[in-house]
Amino acid sequence: MTVWHWVRHAPTHETAFVGWRDVPADLSDRARIARLDAALPAGALLVSSDLSRAVATADALAGGRTRLPHAADLREFNLGDWDGLRFDVVAARDPVLSRRYWEEPGDVAPPGGESWNAAAERVAGFVDRINAVHPEAEIIAVAHIGVILTQIQRASSCTAYEALAHEIGNLSVTHLVHEGGWRVEAINRCP
């Protein structure tokens, strides 16, 4: 049994879309980070996206945990030309495409970006490799909202649209268990 503790990185305070654009995390809430750290298993392996907001959050949780190399496969969705734009700007610029992107997640992709299905496949491949190498481990994975939602979809066998309905707050934990198949233990737990 492999237990995944998915942690969404600390807040960025961005008001625009942030995909592969590298923006820093605000790690100033030390009490909240300490509570999160205490709620996570001490002996777990720790991995993060290679984007600085996830790396810095993982660094704050590292303690004595074994750190795996940062993983580009855990990056947020590549939002292409939309990265750095506000929602209203994207909706005005690409009204039909942006509406389809949120209402029909799957193969719809932003210009120059990747679709839900492409991102989900990228993340699932990484998770499967870790499960194969560490089949009895607890894994703390510091990543992004889109990444976590793809794994909720996978574990709960819901649609991408249904997965998008879940709230995933910054510094929250989502527990997913792989034991032959997947099951959801908790979503968006805030210690």
Residue-level pLDDT at 46: 98
Residue-level pLDDT at 103: 95
Residue-level pLDDT at 169: 98
Distance between CA atoms of 91 and 98, rounded to whole angstroms?
6
Residue-level pLDDT at 1: 94
pLDDT tens for 101-149 read 999 999 999 999 999 999 999 999 999 999 999 999 999 999 999 999 9
Q: Could you tell me the pLDDT band of residue 11, with boundaries at 50, 70 and 90? A: very high
Residue-level pLDDT at 21: 97
Mean of the pLDDT values across residues 37-66? 97
Q: Could you tell me the pLDDT band of residue 168, with boundaries at 50, 70 and 90? A: very high
Q: Could you tell me the pLDDT band of residue 49, with boundaries at 50, 70 and 90? A: very high
Q: Which CATH superfamily is domain 2-189 in?
A: Phosphoglycerate mutase-like (3.40.50.1240)
Distance between CA atoms of 158 and 152, rounded to whole angstroms?
8
Burial of 63 (0-12, 13-18, 19+ CB in 10 A): exposed
Mean of the pLDDT values across residues 79-99? 98
Mean of the pLDDT values across residues 17-26? 97
Across the chain, what does the average pLDDT equal? 97
47 close to 68: Cβ distance less than 8 angstroms: yes
Residue-level pLDDT at 97: 98
Q: Could you tell me the pLDDT band of residue 176, with boundaries at 50, 70 and 90? A: very high
pLDDT tens for 56-86 read 999 999 988 999 999 999 999 999 999 999 9
Which helix (H) or strand (E) segment is 58 a member of?
A: helix 52-61
The dihedral through the CA atoms of 149, 152, 157, 163 has a sign that is negative
| Per-domain boundaries in the chain | 2-189
Mean of the pLDDT values across residues 88-109? 97
